[in-house]
Structure 1
Amino acid sequence: MTLTRKPRPTAGRASAAPLAALALLAAGIGVVIVSGATGTVDVTVAESFKIVAGHLLPNLPWMSDGSLTPLQDQAVWQFRLPRTLLAGVAGAGLALAGALMQALVRNPLAEPYLLGVSAGAGVGAVAVITLGAAAVGLTLSGAAFAGALGAAVAVYLLARQGGVVAPTRLILSGVALGSLLSAVTSYLTITTEAQNVFSILFFLLGSVAAATWTQLAVPAAALAIVLVFARLRSRSLNALQVGDETATALGVDVNRFRSQLLVACALLTGAVVAVSGGIGFVGLVVPHISRIAVGADHRRMLPVAVLGGAVFLMAADLAARTVAAPTEIPIGIVTAAVGAPFFLWLMRRGRASGAGMHR
């Protein structure tokens, strides 16, 4: 007698989506508060909560009774909170871009950097570090964003043939262009002065250490716009997973929709990479885990993936600050070191069958 594993009921997975979203939201708030209490300036978890609440809600008594020092307030509100929120926005953006990229090419192994966008951002940022902002004419973030958009446009033009964006050509073009741009980055790195190498490595491996409130605006706006677009087109995303012919029969203009997805992924990834560097693994793993938890229906999977990506990267940044304190390690090292074994554990347990691309 042969025993087979029964698939998880769809209704049960659908009902799990709101609970998963609420749990992730609560976890995210908890990470924000704990992160605010972590650093060289002594701040307790309770004091961190009071400072954040005091800036969000008016006339709270502890903001003026002298129980909190100006140094504590500055450490939490001006330095730690923007950093944690930027990590959250970056994680949410990478997870969303990963989910859309996997739908775009119908490949569960796809991730945001498949387009060569990260490599393009790397070239722009490294050019500023090695040549100087005056020579390039842009700030580091501006040059990284410009490089990311340039790479995305190049991949789109290379993948488009006969007015059609073919998934296979898109993957091959992205891999080839990414390799070329990575070679340019390596050349700039080995020919620059030794003191620049550390800054280059920190950007390429990802960091939000220098986050400010103003840096949050662009990636947060990009995340909001792409998330609204994805939610409005979630049915089209579901149809795309079944196949081009079925999607066309359901009224989806497949080629036009793929072009829109490509633009959305490129803009979102570029906006994130420009301020956080090359943080890998989030866009590959988080969408998979979200599908395992709540199913592949994008209407319920996308919110869970966005919240999951935010919590994962905020927690990874907290670990990057504390694991080797007082030395800080790049956040990309943490995401790979933690995410890869966890994902392999899921695969070994045989639970990744729900991470497929079909509903």
Structure 2
Amino acid sequence: MGWSIDSVQPTGVVVRLWQERVALRLPLRPLLTLAVLLFVLGSVIALSLTIGSYGMSLADVWRVLTGGDEQPQMSLVVWEFRFPRALVAALVGAMFALSGSALQSVTRNGLADPSLVGISQGAGLAVVMLVVLWPDAVGAWRPWAALFGSLSIAALIQTLSWRREGNSSMRFILLGIGVAAFISAMTSALMTYGEIDRAMSALAWLSGSVNAANWADVKLLSLWLALLLPALLVLSRPMAAQQLGDATALGLGVPLAWVRRGLIITAVALAAIATAVVGPIAFVGLIAPHAVRRLAPAGVGLHLLLTAALGAVLVALADLLGRALFAPVQIPAGLVTSLIGVPLFLLLMYRTQARGGQA
């Protein structure tokens, strides 16, 4: 009954579930890489709890977290400011990374990223409209507005790129970049004509900052990630078949149209909810899947878990660097990831052109 580890071999681990109704052979290298990434993530979060204007040691943080320290000021700093901020950074990093991985799978193009193809910008425009035009509705409607904006842009780009015969993934990317630029211009115009205090609030949000993260954001992100990550894992098997080509996938009985719709909706939802909470954070969805393929090649399911872990590390580390490098000035995590991601995007574009347009 239950589950068991049947054997541990030099090349992998065999796991049998529910009286051998499900058997999995998990490669050892990806498992070890996942463990290392989770350890690094925990270390980054622990370090972020000690850094700030109110300095603390790891021992101080441990006492606060375990209830062994009754200093009100120290408890307030850790529980109300630093801990939710670190968790939000990790959660949005995982969500943006998973969104990028799903988009790259459905388009078969390594340049796909929610910040490049207009999905994050669609969410951003919807939220900025709320902030500038209906500020009283921001709290209740922000996640749903972001989701609606992202889905609308995704549907537009899909219609423009997939209704033509040939279904070029590069066309999807280029159309997305053009639509993203147009939406960014609309967002800037909206802030220009809005009231100054609302425009400044929207501008701070658009920089991709986790400064204002709280426990309500942690709960919202955790809930959506708990719903959407299993959906992606369920789609991992048809995703693996899809990588063999449309003809092979259809021959194996994969409903390609439904799989593509499911991947797009899940990818859009992941990016939209993350954007609604912290604003657009660029290039995480581009960097994480590519880096994971080089760190530990794995099947689709393990690749998704590794991508989520690396995305969480990237944004948590970007937030930590933005806080620590130029203290007391804080650089938003979105700007840090952009500084890292732009050179990598140019390199990937060059490699894609060199290979004849296939990323």
Map residues 216-295 of structure 1 onto 2, 5 A cutoff. 216-295=218-297
Code of the aligned partner of 1:257: V
Once residues 179 and 126 of structure 1 are traced to their aligned partners in structure 2, the CA distance between those partners, rounded to angstroms, is 16
Aligned residue among 39, 49, 58 for 1:45:
58
For residue 280 of structure 2, give the secondary structure of its aligned residue in structure 1: coil
1:57 corresponds to which residue?
A: none
Q: Which moved more, 1:16-25 or 1:190-199?
A: 190-199
Cα distance, 1:206 vs. partner? 0.2
TM-score where L is the length of structure 1? 0.81
1:179 corresponds to which residue?
A: 181
Once residues 315 and 195 of structure 2 are traced to their aligned partners in structure 1, the CA distance between those partners, rounded to angstroms, is 32
Cα distance, 1:346 vs. partner? 11
| 1:166-225 deviation per Cα after TM superposition (whole angstroms, max 9, x unaligned) | 856654553443233222112112323455554333222201111111112232222222
Cα distance, 1:337 vs. partner? 2.3
Q: Which moved more, 1:262-271 or 1:229-238?
A: 229-238
Once residues 151 and 349 of structure 2 are traced to their aligned partners in structure 1, the CA distance between those partners, rounded to angstroms, is 34
1:337 corresponds to which residue?
A: 339
For residue 243 of structure 2, give the secondary structure of its aligned residue in structure 1: helix
The answer to whether the Cα contact below 8 Å between 1:96 and 1:306 also exists between their aligned partners in 2 is yes
Once residues 70 and 51 of structure 2 are traced to their aligned partners in structure 1, the CA distance between those partners, rounded to angstroms, is 16
Code of the aligned partner of 1:210: A
Cα distance, 1:89 vs. partner? 0.4
For residue 112 of structure 1, give the secondary structure of its aligned residue in structure 2: coil
2:29 corresponds to which residue?
A: 16
TM-score where L is the length of structure 2? 0.81
Q: Which moved more, 1:24-33 or 1:93-102?
A: 24-33
2:84 corresponds to which residue?
A: 82
Unpaired stretches in structure 2, ≥5 consecutive residues: 1-10, 13-25
Cα distance, 1:259 vs. partner? 0.7
The answer to whether the Cα contact below 8 Å between 1:128 and 1:138 also exists between their aligned partners in 2 is no
| 1:257-295 deviation per Cα after TM superposition (whole angstroms, max 9, x unaligned) | 101101101111111100010100100011100001111
Once residues 137 and 349 of structure 2 are traced to their aligned partners in structure 1, the CA distance between those partners, rounded to angstroms, is 48
Aligned residue among 317, 327, 330 for 1:315:
317
Aligned CA RMSD, in angstroms, stands at 3.2
Code of the aligned partner of 1:28: L
Kindly indicate which of the two structures has a greater share of residues assigned to helix: 1
Identity across matched positions, percent: 35
Aligned residue among 25, 29, 50 for 2:42:
29
| 1:26-80 deviation per Cα after TM superposition (whole angstroms, max 9, x unaligned) | 11111111111122223221111232244xxxxxxx2xxxx44011111101111
Code of the aligned partner of 1:327: V
Cα distance, 1:154 vs. partner? 4.0
Unpaired stretches in structure 1, ≥5 consecutive residues: 1-10, 55-61
Once residues 229 and 165 of structure 1 are traced to their aligned partners in structure 2, the CA distance between those partners, rounded to angstroms, is 25
Cα distance, 1:344 vs. partner? 8.2
The answer to whether the Cα contact below 8 Å between 1:165 and 1:258 also exists between their aligned partners in 2 is no
Code of the aligned partner of 1:52: L
Once residues 52 and 249 of structure 1 are traced to their aligned partners in structure 2, the CA distance between those partners, rounded to angstroms, is 54
The answer to whether the Cα contact below 8 Å between 2:98 and 2:285 also exists between their aligned partners in 1 is yes
Kindly indicate which of the two structures has a greater share of residues assigned to strand: 2
| 1:295-330 deviation per Cα after TM superposition (whole angstroms, max 9, x unaligned) | 152132111111111111111111111222112112
Structure 1 residues 20 and 172: CA distance shift in structure 2, 3 A: same
Code of the aligned partner of 1:21: L
2:23 corresponds to which residue?
A: none
For residue 75 of structure 1, give the secondary structure of its aligned residue in structure 2: helix
For residue 242 of structure 1, give the secondary structure of its aligned residue in structure 2: coil
Structure 1 residues 254 and 167: CA distance shift in structure 2, 3 A: farther
Q: Number of aligned pairs?
A: 330
